Structure 1
Amino acid sequence: MGTALLLGCMAAFPQSVVKLTQALVRIPSVNPDGDPGVDKTGEADVAAYVGDFLKHSGAEVVIEEVLPGRPNVIGRFRSEPANDGKPKPRIVFGPHLDTVGVGGMTIDPFGGEVREGKLWGRGACDTKGPMAAMLWALWELRDELATLPVEVHFAGFMSEESDQHGSRHFAKHHGKDYAFALIAEPTDLKTVFKHKGCLWADIETFGIAVHGSRPELGENAIVKMAKLIKALDADFRAQLANCGDDEWLGRSTISLGMIRGGTRANITADHCRLTVDIRYNPAVRDHGGPHELLKAFVAHLDPSAKVTPCGALSPCLDTSAEDPFVKSLVEHGAALTGAPWFCDAAFLAEAGVPAIAMGPGSIAQAHTKDEWIEIAELERGAEFWVRWLRGEGA
């Protein structure tokens, strides 16, 4: 049955946040980058489903293509003028539509099975469950949204799991319109107001290829890389740490993730590539940023080496705990916390929109071979958003 027909038939309309999560999990929306593990990838089908759900909830819906066949979905709910005539602050609920790949999963990735008090499947926790909690709250409040003291929008972002094209596009074209962004991630319903930034970078060393029987006539790029690896793992790691700890995020880190060099055993390697993952806190940002620090460190040891970012730098999230929306979330029981991972919230914040990440479920279940979310947490998430939007007490 087609997506529009499914939602057009009210008998098939999801009757609970659990049923909604099942419906979302059963629509594959695997990010095509890396190793998706399925032939059909992309977010178009789940964007269409979410768009229909938003329309039934009373929103004006726009499907906004970011990459070919890979759209964001935006829902704008009607808002009545404030009693004092002043514009209402506009907020946006922003989950992501894509999931990581399904290779190696031990359960049906798109089954949406319910057992043992859990809902199972790819995206159940990251982040179709948290998205469903937001959507269900908007459905429950569909007759009240216009009279709330805030104007409510929804934006489902494509490609969060790789390069964050969706949130970057939304921030560029719509960011100035919002007073606050609530990004769905599995945070145990805590308010992630800070998270680390991320730099993935390739470090390349170069040599001179000669016959393996006379290596002294050439220059070995692997040997040059070995010296860099030792220094990166010790001295550069210490340099990052010396930039300073963050109360919520701790110290910045480097992980040496992949290495490749040479072409044959009997040829001296003329090229070697190391890929590193740097997770950095605001202290490193304030010391010039991870890319500049890494480039300077590598150049000092090997002027011929090359440092190239793999994609765009993902910034830190560093939203003020004194923001009134943040304080309101805390007052409703969503305690402050920080995170070592990064998400779409940072790109909204970079565009000037105070942002946090929050949702039911545990990050420990994200990307796992047996991904699940607890039913009780899913329901608690939907209830929290209803209560928070109504301004009801904790």
Structure 2
Amino acid sequence: MTPDTTSAEDLLRDLVRIPSVNPREGAGDGGETAVAAYVRDWLERRGVRAESHEVLPGRSNVVAVVPGRSESAVLLESHLDTVETDGMTVGPYDAEVRGGRLFGRGACDAKGPLAAFLLALVELAAGDDPPPYTVVLAGVCDEEHAYRGVLHLVDALADRAVVGAIVGEPTGLVPAVAHKGVVRYTVRTRGRAGHSSRPEEAVNAITLMAPVVTHLAGSAPDVPPHPLLGPATRSVTRIRGGTGPNTIPGSCEADVDRRTLPGEDLDTVWRRDRDELAALGAEVDPPFTVDPALDTAADADVVTALCRALDEHGRPSEVRGMPFGTDASKLARAGIPSVVFGPGSVGDAHSAAESVELTEVELAARVVLAAVRGVGEPRCA
């Protein structure tokens, strides 16, 4: 196979120009599927077998395979969807390049990492020497909402032994082996609605919510900090209450984001918060989002291979923790040791001027290629 000459800039520009905003609970508009189809066709033109897998109506994953000397696999996984484009100060789909950076929604999170994985995969496929393990690349839908793409992928891989995974996210080219989980729930206070001209005849639910918010802001979760992640956190992220400017509200709701640490039981976290807030007179709904934390052993084969590849390329290789959640926790829960890695900074993800440095995308591709080739090699003494 002739080595591919596609540049990181050309590939990433094409990916960013395909809108793929996660529709949340709405019907898919083909955005994620359009990116999946682009990836599939791009790979197949370069001799790499790839297929689309429908996960939800109008929403698909794409999975490609490069055979190795072993049928057991190393997984390269990243996501196809992006967050919304509201408030962006750059054209979300223009894919403009300025000062060596490509701007647009998804450039950093996570089409930059996806582009790096694609470039590594086609170079791997073009080589004369097959990799030690079969390499599976997956671009998945719905990472930014309910993780249904990676859960579908886990089911699809059930019959294949997967020795490790590199999950593409913007980590600034450092290997992340731990990240926080999350439990999100709604807390509610109930009063008695009435006319605002006679507040003494009503009970203001917003006023009842005030001590709940104050308590949540002033009391940290009572768990020891994690060496790579620091403390668990709890934040009020949204408040809803009231029906009009001249009505005392009878109900108020607040959404709470509780970031969990490895080892915390998610159901126990919610039950403790429920009991704690019930003592303040509030109701707490069952969680609407639950996602586990990640805590991969630093000596897992896929981690040591990635760290060795970073060393070879003159990059820092000390393992880190990341505060945000990723698909890696779902893969790890399925028994696949997973490390998070990719170009770009999380500070640029979801931002008004989202962008990624193109040289980082190129370097990430070279590092991933070396890491995949090095999985299973003896560790240095």
What is the TM-score with the length of structure 1 in the denominator? 0.86
Give SS of 2:31's match.
coil
C-alpha contact 1:32 1:41 (8 A) present in aligned 2: no
Of 280, 292, 301, which aligns to 1:315?
A: 292
How many residues are aligned here? Answer: 367
> Are 1:20 and 2:11 an aligned pair?
yes
CA distance in 1, matches of 2:286, 2:254: 11
Find the aligned partners of 2:152 and 2:273 in 1 and give their Cα distance. 28
Q: Hey, what's the Cα distance between the residues in 2 that align with 1:142 and 1:234?
A: 54
Structure 1 position 342, deviation (Å) = 0.5
The two structures, once aligned, show a CA RMSD in angstroms of 2.6
- Give the one of 174, 177, 181 matched to 1:190: 174
C-alpha contact (below 8 Å) 1:60/1:75 kept by paired residues: yes
Which SS does the other structure have where 1:363 is aligned?
coil
How far the C-alpha of 1:268 sits from its partner, in A, is 2.8
In terms of fraction of residues, the more helix-rich structure is 1
Cα 1:115–1:375 shift into 2, 3 Å = same
Task: Tell me the alpha carbon deviations over residues 176-232 of structure 1, each in whole angstroms, 9 at most, x when there is no partner.
Answer: 632211110011111111001112221111122233344344433222211211222
Say whether 1:75 aligns with 2:67. Answer: no
Deviation of the 1:48 alpha carbon: 0.1
> How far 1:114 sits from its partner (Å)?
2.2
- Residues in 1 aligned to 2:53 and 2:194: alpha-carbon distance in whole angstroms: 54
Aligned partner of 1:387 among 366, 370, 379: 370
Which deviations, in whole Å up to 9, do the C-alpha atoms of 1:283-323 show, x marking residues without a partner? 5x158643222112112222x6233323x301101111121
Give me the TM-score of the superposition, normalised by structure 2.
0.89
Q: Secondary structure at the match of 1:364?
A: coil
Equivalent residue number for residue 263 of structure 1: 243
- Conserved in 2, the CA contact under 8 Å of 1:256 and 1:274? yes
Match of 2:269 in 1: 290
> Which consecutive unaligned segments of at least 5 residues does structure 2 have?
311-316
8 A contact 1:59–1:78 mirrored in 2: no
Change (3 A) 1:175 1:183: farther
C-alpha contact 1:17 1:382 (8 A) present in aligned 2: no
Per the alignment, do residues 266 and 152 of structure 1 end up closer, same or farther by CA in structure 2, a change over 3 Å counting? same
Give the secondary-structure state (helix, strand or coil) at the position aligned to 2:335. Answer: coil
Indicate if the aligned counterparts of 2:19 and 2:93 stay in contact, CA closer than 8 A: yes
Tell me the equivalent position of 2:301: 324
Write the distance in 2 (CA, Å) between the matches of 1:375 and 1:322: 30
Change (3 A) 1:180 1:256: same
Look up the equivalent residue of 2:300 and give its one-letter code. Answer: D
Task: Give the Cα–Cα distance (whole angstroms) in 1 for the partners of residues 322 and 238 of structure 2.
Answer: 24
Distance apart, 1:143 and its partner CA: 3.1
Aligned-pair identity (%): 37
The alignment partner of 1:92 has SS state of strand
Asked whether the equivalents of residues 329 and 388 of structure 1 are also in contact (C-alpha less than 8 Å), the reply is yes
- SS of the aligned residue for 2:347 comes to helix
The alpha-carbon deviation at position 265 of structure 1 amounts to 3.9
Asked if residue 373 in structure 1 is aligned to residue 351 in structure 2, the reply is no
Matches within 5 A, 1:1-394: 15-33=6-24, 42-80=31-69, 82=70, 88-144=71-127, 147-175=130-158, 177=160, 178-235=162-219, 237=220, 240=221, 242-282=222-262, 285-286=264-265, 289-302=268-281, 305-310=283-288, 312-333=289-310, 334-391=317-374
